[in-house]
Amino acid sequence: MPTPIAGLSAWVRGLLIVLAVLLLAAAGFGLHRVFGPGGTATAPAGPAGPRTADRIVPAPLAATAGPGPGYRLSERTAVRVEGAGEQVAEVRRIAERLADELRRPTGYPFEVTDGGPGDGIRLVLDPALPAETGAEGYRLTADAEGVRITALTPAGLHLGTRTLRQLLPPQIESRVPVTAGPPWSVAAVSVEDRPRYAYRGAMLDVARHFFTVAEVEGFIDRLALYKINYLHLHLTDDQGWRIEIPGRPALTAVGGGSEVGGTPGGFYTAADYREIVRYAQERYLTVVPEIDLPGHSNAVLAAYPELDCTGSARPWPYTGIEVGFSTLCPAGEAVFAFTGEVIAEIARLTPGPYLHIGGDEVRAVAPEAYRDFVRRVGAQVLAAGKTPVGWNQTAPAAGPGGVGLLQYWDGKGRDQDVRDAIGRGAKVIMSPAGRTYLDMKYEASYPLGLRWAGTIDVRSAYSWDPDTLIDLPAGSVLGVEAPLWTETLDTPERLDLMLLPRLPALAELGWSPKAGHDWTGFRQRLAEQGARWTAAGFGYEKRSEIPWPAP
Ligand code: TNX
């Protein structure tokens, strides 16, 4: 049957087809919201096409594909800093770091300049942005003229640059020149973004196995990709003490020299620790140091046996993985002199607002004595100018003058204690072991990790809501954290296998609006992160739940 256009001349037919294609393209690329509360993603462009905003992890608050071809980086692309006031120097440092990251794979010079006309990547501090943009929000637009990131703060600009990297092809993560690379293009887009929670953390246990400064910095690199803003370091435990304290040399001389399995361990000098803090800060992560008290303290008891008044110490070195046996003497001036010295030094070395005092799994002390101990140590932390953080067992000691922030990890019927503490003014970080513990196995047969809190595949790491997992008053959850305990993890390669791909699941719960959470879309976006990790030289576990593209 002849179609209605069959009778027209070939020329007119051609014109109609071109018009139809243009109309379809306009409908597809028109101001279409790809993410937003309850929004859905548009179909992703093919792997070779420019990367669109529907591929970002964690998903932004809102992203709109723009008209036109977007922006292509070239030899002439400059990074331009705009704004006035004292924060401009910091924006310049962000620009320098972005330029440096882009130079390595592309080979382009990426000159950093002040404002000026012309195309390029613009970082703009804009006090006229709406207040709801907040301390970490940003806007990013890309069109043929370039990329423009605006924010109220340098932190917001930095986070915008993390999104920009995800809008470029995966090879942009390469630390070495990419010779046969793709075009370095960003699709036309407009992104508006800010986090759901102020606290998005990950913890590394450097006590069960020690990790060097360079290895911790590598860990920070992985967190920074996903807008994680707190690094909690578990610095002390039964198997080792990992930070130098002046006046208490045996802590490291004795307690630093071993780890799980009996290998040599190690510790950080004050300079090492400051370097970790600096590296984290440069990537807008705040270090939260943890000194675990009064339990998990066998290394202290080995170094200073006079602090053991209950006879809880095991012979040193303790290289096993049992928990809950050791405790410092819960009372007496000698123990508080010790905790006071340690807290003062850690507070002195730490610019961030928090100091974690542990408080978990103390089986050898009666509840009253435990509560009084935690209160007193909490007061020492406050006197040192920091907010005390404790695992949820410290809830009875939380409130004014004591622990201000609880890290929720085990249910065990203690939820009411947490609610009571919230009633006294405490806030909560959600780290439920069965969802966020990155040392749990993916499945029972997985060779690494533990399984006391169950197995955690990527889907279960993603499919829960920090606000409602337990019944808490609205507004009491400050954020989320994924702890990585290292009883079974002794190399950075093994850390990677547990961290990736589960960390991005937690990062998205912490950053993206709840209404946009969607496993089907998330696993698609996560699949594309694999090529980024490979380009960056990061290992990951190729879980079959994720539709990784064929190599
Ligand atoms: C529980 S969670 C612990 C740690 C262990 C971890 C192993 C918490 C506060 N305590 O001491 O390393 O389980 O998964």
Given the structure tokens 């609205």, which residue do they identify?
474
CA atoms of 503 and 506, how far apart (whole Å):
5
Print pLDDT tens along the chain (551 aa): 333 344 445 554 544 444 443 333 333 333 333 333 322 233 233 344 567 778 999 999 999 999 988 999 999 999 999 987 899 999 999 999 999 999 999 999 999 999 999 999 999 999 999 999 999 999 999 999 999 999 999 999 999 999 999 999 999 999 999 988 789 999 999 999 999 999 999 999 999 999 999 999 999 999 999 999 999 999 999 999 999 999 999 999 999 999 999 999 999 999 999 999 999 999 999 999 999 999 999 999 999 999 999 999 999 999 999 999 999 999 999 999 999 999 999 999 999 999 999 999 999 899 999 999 999 999 999 999 999 999 999 999 999 999 999 999 998 889 999 999 999 999 999 999 999 999 999 999 999 999 999 999 999 999 999 999 999 999 999 999 999 999 999 999 999 999 999 999 999 999 999 999 999 999 999 999 999 999 999 999 999 999 999 87
Residue 84: the pLDDT is 79
Asked if 76 and 111 count as a contact pair (C-beta separation under 8 A), the reply is no
What is the number of the ligand 1 atom nearest to the C-alpha of 450?
A: 14
What is the number of the ligand 1 atom nearest to the C-alpha of 407?
A: 9
Q: 439 CB under 6 A from ligand 1?
A: yes
* CA proximity to 35, closest of 10, 60, 14, 65: 60
Q: 325 CB under 6 A from ligand 1?
A: no
DSSP helix/strand/coil, 486 = coil
Q: Which among 495, 511, 527 is the end of a domain?
A: 511
Asked if 448 and 488 count as a contact pair (C-beta separation under 8 A), the reply is yes
- Contact residues for 261 (Cβ-Cβ < 8 A; gap 6+): 209, 319, 490
What is the number of the ligand 1 atom nearest to the C-alpha of 205?
A: 12
CA atoms of 333 and 378, how far apart (whole Å):
15
- Ligand 1: centre distance to CA 360 (Å): 8
Q: Which residues are catalytic?
A: 361
Do residues 188 and 208 share a domain? no
Q: Are strands 138-143 and 146-151 parallel, antiparallel or unpaired?
A: antiparallel
Q: 364 CB under 6 A from ligand 1?
A: no
* Helix (DSSP H) and strand (DSSP E) numbers for the chain: 15, 20
Asked if 80 and 113 count as a contact pair (C-beta separation under 8 A), the reply is yes
Q: Which among 152, 169, 193 is the end of a domain?
A: 193
Do residues 359 and 243 share a domain? yes
Residue with the smallest CA separation from ligand 1 atom 12 is 485
Residue 411: the pLDDT is 81
CATH number for 308 = 3.20.20.80
- Ligand 1: centre distance to CA 232 (Å): 14
Q: Which two tokens stand for residue 221?
A: 């690199």
How many domains is the chain partitioned into structurally? 2
Ligand 1 pocket test, candidate residues 485, 486, 498, most atoms within 8 A of CB: 485
- Ligand 1: centre distance to CA 454 (Å): 13
Q: 320 CB under 6 A from ligand 1?
A: no
What's 421-469 look like in SS3? HHHCCCEEEECCHHHHCCCECCCCCCCCCECCCCCCCHHHHHCCCCCCC
Q: 360 CB under 6 A from ligand 1?
A: yes
Q: Which two tokens stand for residue 22?
A: 């243009």
Do residues 211 and 354 share a domain? yes
Record the pTM: 0.92
- DSSP H helices, 227-269, are 250-253
Residue 180: the pLDDT is 83
Do residues 115 and 231 share a domain? no
Q: 408 CB under 6 A from ligand 1?
A: no
Do residues 365 and 477 share a domain? yes
Residue with the smallest CA separation from ligand 1 atom 9 is 360
Do residues 332 and 268 share a domain? yes
Do residues 492 and 355 share a domain? yes
Do residues 205 and 242 share a domain? yes
Which domain does 229 fall in, by range? 199-511
CATH number for 145 = 3.30.379.10
| 528 domain-assigned | no
| Cα-Cα-Cα-Cα dihedral sign, residues 95, 100, 101, 104 | positive
What letter would DSSP give residue 375? H
| 33 domain-assigned | no
| 169 domain-assigned | yes
Q: What does the radius of gyration of the chain's CA atoms come to, in whole angstroms?
A: 26
Q: 321 CB under 6 A from ligand 1?
A: no
| 46 domain-assigned | no
- Ligand 1: centre distance to CA 467 (Å): 23
Asked if 150 and 124 count as a contact pair (C-beta separation under 8 A), the reply is yes
Q: Which among 162, 193, 224 is the end of a domain?
A: 193
Angle of helix 213-225 relative to helix 492-499, nearest 10 degrees? Answer: 20
Residue 9: the pLDDT is 52
Given the structure tokens 């630093």, which residue do they identify?
256
Paired with 388 in beta bridges are 355
Q: 481 CB under 6 A from ligand 1?
A: no
CA atoms of 199 and 135, how far apart (whole Å):
12
Cis preceding-peptide flag for 317 (omega within 30 of 0): yes
Do residues 254 and 138 share a domain? no
Residue 49: the pLDDT is 57
- Ligand 1: centre distance to CA 484 (Å): 9
What is the number of the ligand 1 atom nearest to the C-alpha of 437?
A: 14
| 139 domain-assigned | yes
Do residues 116 and 225 share a domain? no
Do residues 96 and 116 share a domain? yes
Residue 51: the pLDDT is 76
What is the number of the ligand 1 atom nearest to the C-alpha of 292?
A: 9
Residue with the smallest CA separation from ligand 1 atom 13 is 485
| 130 domain-assigned | yes
* CA proximity to 83, closest of 151, 17, 12: 151
| 256 domain-assigned | yes
CA atoms of 486 and 484, how far apart (whole Å):
6
Ligand 1 pocket test, candidate residues 204, 318, 361, most atoms within 8 A of CB: 361
CA atoms of 166 and 173, how far apart (whole Å):
9
Q: Which two tokens stand for residue 532?
A: 């980024």
Q: For residue 302, what is the enclosing H or E element?
A: helix 298-303
Distances in Å between the Cα of 491 and the Cα atoms of 219, 321, 444, 497, 539 are 12, 17, 21, 10, 12
| 543 domain-assigned | no
Residue 441: the pLDDT is 99
Do residues 103 and 169 share a domain? yes
